[in-house]
């Protein structure tokens, strides 16, 4: 499975922890299959893991789940675009962009 396929699967999934469990597992698999881009996959793996740890046993509103899925999807799209360019400097900038956007967010995962 490619990163683009993972992004599309996540975009088509229902908001909620099950989607993040699948995302986490996909990132773990990609870390092993594509070690040259492991930092990208590990960042998303960490976000997905944290989301599951924080919310799997809690009831969250549908709006909360949808908003956070959109936020995660925005990060995934930034990184997907960068991976497609196959340019290390561009990918590094994309990672920094995602991290900076996350730092300025509510940090829900």
Tell me the per-residue pLDDT of 60-107, one tens digit each, with 9 for 90 and over. 999 999 999 999 999 999 999 999 999 999 999 999 999 999 999 988
What pTM did the predictor assign? Answer: 0.94
28 found inside a domain = yes
109 found inside a domain = no
Distance separating alpha carbons of residues 76 and 85, to the nearest angstrom:
14
Average pLDDT of the chain to the nearest whole number? 97
Mean pLDDT of 53-63: 94
Give Cα 18 distance to the centre of its chain.
14
Cα→Cα distances 18→48, 64, 72, 97, 99, Å: 10, 15, 14, 26, 24
Residue 71: CB partners within 8 Å, gap ≥ 6?
105, 108
75 found inside a domain = yes
Instruction: Quote the number of domains for the chain.
Output: 1
Cα→Cα distances 12→9, 19, 66, 71, 103, Å: 5, 9, 12, 14, 26
The domain containing residue 24 runs over which residues?
3-103
Share of the chain above pLDDT 70, in %: 100
Tokens linked to 82 = 């960068």
108 found inside a domain = no
């Amino acid at each position: 499975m490619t990163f683009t396929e993972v992004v599309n699967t996540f975009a088509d999934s229902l908001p909620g922890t099950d989607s993040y469990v699948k995302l986490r597992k996909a990132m773990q698999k990609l870390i092993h299959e594509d070690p040259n881009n492991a930092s990208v996959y590990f960042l998303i793996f960490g976000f997905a893991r944290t989301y599951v740890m924080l919310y799997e046993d809690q009831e969250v509103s549908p709006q909360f789940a949808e908003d956070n899925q959109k936020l995660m999807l925005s990060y995934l799209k930034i990184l997907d675009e960068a991976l497609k360019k196959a340019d290390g400097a561009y990918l590094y900038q994309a990672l920094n962009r995602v991290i900076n956007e996350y730092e300025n967010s509510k940090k829900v995962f």
